[in-house]
Structure 1
Amino acid sequence: MDYAILKQFDQVSVYVRQVAEIADKNKGAFGFLSSSVYEQMASKGQLWVAINNSNELKGYLMFGGTMPTLKVFQIYACPSVKGQGVGKRLISALKNHAREKHYHSISARVASDLPANNFWEQVGFSIYQQVKGGHTTKRTINIRGHSLEDNDLLSGLTNESTGIEPIGPVLERPVYALDLNLLLDVFKARPGYKKVVKIMQVGFQGGFSICVTPEFKKELERQSASYSDDPVLRLAAVFPEVSTDADVTSIAEPLRDIVFPLRTSTRKSAQNDESDLIHLAYCISAGIGGFITREKALLRACNDIKDKYGVLILSPDELVLDDGIALNIEVPLNTDFSFSISNVTEEIKGFLCGYTTPSAITKLLDTSSPVRESVNVYEARLDDRLFGVYFFHKPTKGTSSALAALYIDENCPQSVAAIDHFLETALRYKSGFPYRLDLYVGKGQDLTEETLRKKGFFRSGDHFVKIIINQFLDAKNWERFYKDIKLFCGLSIPEKLPSKKELINTGVCITDKNNRVEAFSWFKFESLIGPRFILNPDRGCILVPIRENYANGLIGNVTNQLSLLSSHEQALLLEKAYFRSPSKASLFKKGGIVAFYVSGYKSIQEIIGFSRITYSDVISIDEATIKVDRQGVLSRDDLTSLADKNGKLHVFTFDNFLEFDRRISFSRAKELGLISKANLVSPERINLDQLKVLIRETFDE
């Protein structure tokens, strides 16, 4: 018999009640969800039903998730069609949908004791992790995944297939704006409010960033007009407010035909409709990730909005759907977590049992292994719970390679910070020779993989590779680099250093073993070779003064040499944010090089290292809080002290921090003509010749 899959809300809506009843009868497999959840998911086009020729429901699929991973929440086939391929057809349709929308993978949570595991094996979803289920069932949950990416050498090396560069920092934490009604749900304890509390908990602990739009507070003020002191309005002030210079009214108008195609602007609730459109227009204009709401019209338009504007419309039930595990909202907020060097303990071995570890890593953990002593083991803990482990086997000159592995529980709110810390630790390791870093990660670690790609790692088979060089590239040593990259990973680059015009207009072309050619922009190519960079004509550098206490928090303990930093518990960030007054902001361009001079009363007063600018802009305090949350944000009082009279400040983000082999004192820099008579109280630009002098003075090359 032939089966049709219905996806559109107007087709699926008549089956929603039936789906909810089926799910309720199968709580042992699905957990309990209210009927409103199914209606919201249908509104989004993320509840599909399979029907026969008589229009009878024979199966359904509910899914959600955000880029880069789609998540299967529920799938069901009626007993009457067992063995007829209804479930396989639904999953096949989902795979096609995920490919069309450029998702990297699909995941599903399946209790280990359910026969459904056989089905998931048959449709190509392998187990890549096991986790504990809820306290009630005490089950073990299989985390299954299906990859949608090609596994060739260059896959995933580029970030945007369209070639469009992001307007913000390279690394981003998801940013979601809240609808007003969600805050009212919490205040009035309306059904579903615990999910909203969970969203705020995860947001406050760093899983993603939460903000509101200016319309949020305006809408609340309209509703609070009769109150002299509204507690909800006070609570709203806690959230940073996204802003934009664009005309949101002009953006909102064309949204009306997408969101409310059948509603007139004169209907009774027209003001509420207008408010919804303004909320969405702010999200689109500010370029934030998504809008969290229960408004059905917005949820129904989610696919059109995402396709046209790149903004997600999310239901709170979708964002924290947890397979029926009870939400514990009484656990106190705690963002304290630590990193430390460890031995391979039984606890670490138990943690790794939840992952599929390749033989190359298993051998490193063997206590009888002859290379075991040269392996560093680091762990990450939150409230004394182990949630991440990083292994690093130091490179040897004989093999010109290093081996590492990173396993992170990405369900932990602090997983992003741990990923950044461990990768920054890896990139700060110094050797006196170039080498290839082979890094293994756990299957399903999509946040980790996304970060790796953006930081210049590329996939090679079942792991990721980074080329670590020990020289700044110029016309003289380019040939050596050309041979190294061919030797290390079989990639070919031009035999001569491209000219500045070639770098600007084409970049660097890389050819893989299958003769597939990929052009990398200057910026992306320097991500591959970072933290080193290209020295070509007109390449300058900005000397940036930074207070010692600020540098300690941003870069690490600068009082002592940073080579000792790996033994400290302080979190390191792959990409950092520097805040300053808007003066001389025009000096800072994406891809530019900065050298940090640590200054201040009784400070070390030394130039300590290079970094690369990844983003620069003059923005408001609220924008700074939202846009660079992953890069580290100062307190609001500190930001206010740096802002000008218009409340604007300059922020630039930077990565690829490279500590000098020999720091250079202020007095020596003056002798070499690197610092003007102004004594470096504000940023100063030095030219290529001065940059070369600085490199000769500070590096053993």
Structure 2
Amino acid sequence: MQNIIVHENPKEVQSFLDAVRIAADAHRAELGFFPFSVYSEFARKGQLYVACERESNKYAGHLLFDCRHPRAKVLQMFVDKDFRCQGVAAALLVQLKISLTQSGFLSIYARVAEDLDAANKFWSRQNFYIQRIEAGGSVRNRTILVRVHELETPQLFGTSGLSQFNPLGLPSTRTTELPLYLIDLNILFDVGPRRPRHKEVAALYQAERMNFCRLAISSEARDELKRSASPGKTDPMESFIGLFPTFPITKDTSSELIKDLAKLVFPAKGEHVLSTNDLSDLSHVATAIQHHLAGLVTNDQAILQAAVAIQNRFGIRLVSSDAFSFGGGSSASAHQVDVLNSSPLESRPVQAMDHPAVHTLLSKFNLTPAEIASDWVGSALSNSKAKGIWHVGQLIGYLCWPARSPDGCVHARAAVDESHTDSGLAARTLLTSLRDELGKLGPTQVDLRLPPNQSTIRELAFGLGFSGAPSSNSLTKLSDGLQVRTPDGNLAHISLDAMESLLAPALFCLAGRPAVITPIQKSFSEPLLGHSAQSSFMPQLASSVFPDRHYVSSYRTLKHFSRGKIILFYESGRGGGRSALVAIAKVSAAFLRDGSQLTPSDYERSVLDERTLAALGMDKMKTVTLFDAIFHLPKMIPLSYLETIGCGKPTKLLSTNPITDLQFESILREAFSE
């Protein structure tokens, strides 16, 4: 094994692609068939490892795998006959485990034919347990063992939380937020049924509908469409792209950024020989960087080739449309898709008469009768709650948690029968039920205990915001609150944005935090902000039930609204208004949208309609600002006071304008003075 080296760098792996293809094609019956383009694509993404002899650099084997966070799936594992029994396969797998653990993955899946004794012994030695048994293809009529290895990922980050990309140990909230990706024009056009990438792009839009991600376009995409439009003709795609949030490129900083990107994407081209299309492609990437988005979805090969370098330098992901597809075959369907209508599952509270079924289920997980009676079933007899998931009278999932906890932490326990076809749906139902029930208690820390080999619940819990604890069978989550010390004793330094999200609707108005004053008429401010002290017998508008609401304004105001900024709402004197600051809130997002494409949801959250929208001006594009954490000022700040501190000029209060730190502090002191 000391004579074997494992290559995982995409550039190093590229030189072995021919050897990988030849070896795989020669053993097609065991490994299955993939075209050469698959190996090339996976090598580019860093998902193909190649082992070779250290001295001769001779190909010894390879590992092909797919990643869908928080799980990975082994697609091919092969060792050349001249290098077998030398630890090559183990070396490849060890490298994969290390890489995935560092990236916060939870589990690795492998499908192994039951009749391959040597292969099953190898996977067993590597601690891959049998999760379930499936039927293989009809040609060879094999039985397939789906094996899973649970990675030793104690936290979403290393023990200290420090890395070269996270030097301050700041935790990321991205795992619990929907990532927002820009899409280019080719992705938009590929949705057409006759386009070769139709299925991949359809899966991308399906992923957005299933709340796996959000999609948006850059202003460059809109400009690009106008450049390519035929004179005198209306392109229907112009109306279609109006459905997406739009992010403009910041002209002041874009030129230098595009130059830097050009060196990574088009290293062979000089700065002055870039085509219009080249500059357009780079503008999409630059826009995603400037707005701190998750990344860009594109099928442009030049950009995808530079994906790793751009991610390392700028922190955004560049992915192709197939990154969002669920893949094919029964394995992918079983792992990733829960077919609700075909699953006659029953979710209900567990009664005393159900305890024998609970014992039968939990005994499958190597729990002793004493553990089951005291920790699982026994706790359900007193002040605890328990819920079960049944399929045709068979209990396949169980959850219990105490109704009260003296230490303020809810210690819940859950388990599902992973051999059952609908184990994923059962696990999701249990976790969602727990989340909804605990939401009624206010700030709560949740300690979720699992039996061994419960990868399904671990993965789904990760998506709901749970993180690992020192014990591999325990997960923790703050249902709503703030914890400054992690379970392993380390202090956690969380970002201001994450802290406010945990303590919402609290606001931290600290020195240096940018703030703006924005005007709003009384007819809009009272239903949108809810600050009126006078009761109304009229029905409340729908906006009042949303924690985050929409403020719609001219496209020119977008530059003032960025995530995290504080908005101070000034109710103008028009229509009997107060001529005073009445409320403050926090910007959670802002983007451009075609006014004709505003959805019913936009209108509900903004107290506007098509008629009142016209009052905002004739500009086609509007700025839609999402704001939350609305706080009504205990003492409204009149125009006269604003004039004394230099931010009360009538011309300034007609539109959105920033204020200084000193002005912001003065406003808050006055608002909270006796």
Q: Is 1:253 matched with 2:259?
A: yes
Residue 634 of structure 1 pairs with residue 605 of structure 2: no
- How far does residue 174 in structure 1 lie from its aligned partner after superposition? 2.2
Q: Does 1:16 align with 2:17?
A: yes
* Aligned partners of 2:561 and 2:625 also within 8 Å: no
Preserved CA contact (<8 Å) 1:508 1:521: no
Deviation at 1:38, TM superposition (A): 1.8
Q: Which residue of structure 2 aligns with residue 462 of structure 1?
A: 473
2:194 to 189, 193, 198: 189
Q: Partners of 1:534 and 1:180 in 2: how far apart? A: 39
Please give the alpha-carbon distance, in whole angstroms, between the structure 2 residues aligned to 1:535 and 1:277. Answer: 37
Q: What's the counterpart of residue 122 of structure 1?
A: 125
Letter in 1 for 2:448: L
**Where does residue 39 of structure 2 map in the other structure?**
38
Query: What is the Cα-based RMSD across aligned positions, in Å?
Result: 6.3
Alignment match, 1:82: 84
Encode CA deviations 1:164-189: one digit per residue, 9 max, x unaligned: 87999994112233343344444363
Amino acid paired to 2:201: V
CA contact (8 A) 1:157 1:458 kept: no
AA at the equivalent of 2:269:
R
Q: Is the 8 A contact 1:45 1:300 kept in 2?
A: no
Q: Distance in 1 between matches of 2:565 and 2:82?
A: 61
Separation in 2 of the partners of 1:44 and 1:464?
30
TM-score, with length taken from structure 1: 0.61
Aligned to 1:449: 462
Q: 2:276 aligns with which of 261, 271, 294?
A: 271
Paired residue for 2:536?
none
Give the AA of the match of 1:647.
K
Q: How big is the shift at 1:339?
A: 12
Unaligned runs of at least 5 residues, structure 2: 512-524, 532-538, 569-583, 639-664
Instruction: Check 1:459–1:412 CA distance in 2 against 1; reply closer, same or farther (3 A cut).
Output: same
Specify the SS of the correspondent of 1:308: helix
2:381 corresponds to which of 371, 377, 385 = 371
- Paired residues in the alignment total 572
Structure 1 CA distance, aligned partners of 2:380 and 2:257? Answer: 64
CA contact (8 A) 1:211 1:240 kept: yes
The alpha carbon displacement at 1:68 in A equals: 5.4
| Counterpart among 527, 542, 545 of residue 550 in structure 1 | 542
User: Structure 1 CA distance, aligned partners of 2:586 and 2:182?
Assistant: 25
Counterpart residue number, 2:627: 652
One-letter amino acid of the counterpart of residue 319, structure 2: L
Post-superposition shift, 1:313?
Answer: 1.9
**Distance change in 2, residues 1:591/1:314 (3 Å):** closer
- Shifted more, 111-120 versus 406-415: the winner is 406-415
Distance in 1 between residues matched to 2:227 and 2:269, nearest whole Å: 23
CA 200–362 in structure 1, closer or farther in 2 if over 3 Å, else same: farther
Structure 2 Cα separation of the partners of residues 338 and 533 of structure 1: 43
Counterpart-to-counterpart distance in 2, 1:636 and 1:338: 38
Distance 1:523 1:242 in 2: 21
User: Superposed, which structure 2 residues align to 1:404-483 within 5 Å?
Assistant: 404-405=412-413, 422-429=434-441, 437-440=446-449, 442-443=454-455, 445-446=458-459, 448-449=461-462, 451-452=464-465, 462-465=473-476
After TM superposition, the score normalised by the length of structure 2 is 0.63
Alignment CA distance shift 1:617-1:81 (3 Å)? closer
Q: Which residue of 2 aligns with 1:142?
A: 146
Contact 2:338–2:425 under 8 Å retained in 1: no
Distance 1:215 1:401, change over 3 A: closer
- Cα pair 1:508 1:520 within 8 Å, conserved: no
Alpha carbons of structure 1 residues 553 and 30: separation in structure 2 relative to 1, 3 Å: farther
Instruction: From 303, 306, 309, give the equivalent of 1:304.
Output: 309
Q: For the Cα contact (< 8 Å) 1:176–1:292, is it kept in 2?
A: yes
Deviation at 1:416, TM superposition (A): 9.3
In the alignment, the residues of structure 1 paired with residue 567 and residue 233 of structure 2 have an alpha-carbon distance, to the nearest angstrom, of 52
Identity between Structure 1 and Structure 2 (%): 20
Q: Which residue of 2 aligns with 1:394?
A: 402
In 1, Cα distance between the equivalents of 2:27 and 2:161? 43
Quick one: which of 227, 230, 239 aligns to 1:225?
230
Measured after TM superposition, the shift of residue 260 of structure 1 is: 1.6
Distance 1:290 1:380 in 2: 41
8 Å CA contact 2:399, 2:414 repeated in 1: yes
Distance 1:361 1:150 in 2: 24
Q: How far 1:651 moved relative to its partner?
A: 1.9
Deviation at 1:647, TM superposition (A): 1.8
Equivalent residue letter for 1:426 = L
Residues 207 and 414 in structure 1, CA contact (< 8 A), matched pair in contact too: no
Shift in Å at residue 245 of structure 1?
Answer: 3.7
- Structure 1 distance, partners of 2:255, 2:271, is 14
Match of 1:93 in 2: 95
Shift of the alpha carbon at 1:406?
A: 5.9
C-alpha displacement at 1:589, in angstroms?
10
Q: 2-side partners of 1:60 and 1:79: how far apart?
A: 12
Alignment of 1:299-378 (within 5 A): 299-320=304-325, 322=327, 324-325=329-330, 342-343=348-349, 371=381, 374-377=384-387
Rounded to whole Å, the distance in 1 between the matches of 2:31 and 2:382 is 44
Partner Cα separation in structure 1 for residue 402 and residue 496 of structure 2: 29
Does the CA-based 8 Å contact 1:579-1:651 persist in structure 2?
A: yes
Q: Given residue 438 of structure 1, which amino acid in structure 2 is its aligned partner?
A: D
Q: In the alignment, which residue of structure 2 is the partner of 1:204?
A: 209
CA distance in structure 1 between the aligned counterparts of 2:426 and 2:236, rounded to whole angstroms: 30
Aligned partners of 1:648, 1:154: CA distance in 2, in Å? 40
Q: Give the conservation status (yes or no) of the 8 Å contact 2:104–2:155.
A: no
SS in 2 for 1:212: strand
Q: Which secondary structure does the structure 2 equivalent of 1:61 belong to?
A: strand
**What is the distance in 2 between the residues matched to 1:614 and 1:416?**
32
Q: Is the partner of 1:647 in helix, strand or coil?
A: strand
Higher relative contact order (CA 8 A, sep 6+): 1
Q: Is the 8 A contact 1:65 1:318 kept in 2?
A: no
Which amino acid is the alignment partner of residue 120 of structure 1? W
Matches within 5 A, 1:580-599: 580=551
Superposed displacement of residue 254, structure 1:
0.4
CA distance in 2, matches of 1:164, 1:635: 37
Give the SS at the match of 1:250: helix
1:470-500 Cα offsets, whole Å, 9 max, x none, are xx9xxxxxxxxxxxxxxxxxxxxxxxxxxxx
On the 8 A contact 2:383/2:403 being kept in 1, the answer is no
Deviation at 1:198, TM superposition (A): 2.0
Change (3 A) 1:367 1:401: same
Matched, 1:579 2:590: no
Residue 564 of structure 1 corresponds to none
Aligned CA distance change for structure 1 residues 335 and 279 (closer, same or farther; 3 Å): farther
Q: In the alignment, is residue 403 of structure 1 matched against residue 411 of structure 2?
A: yes
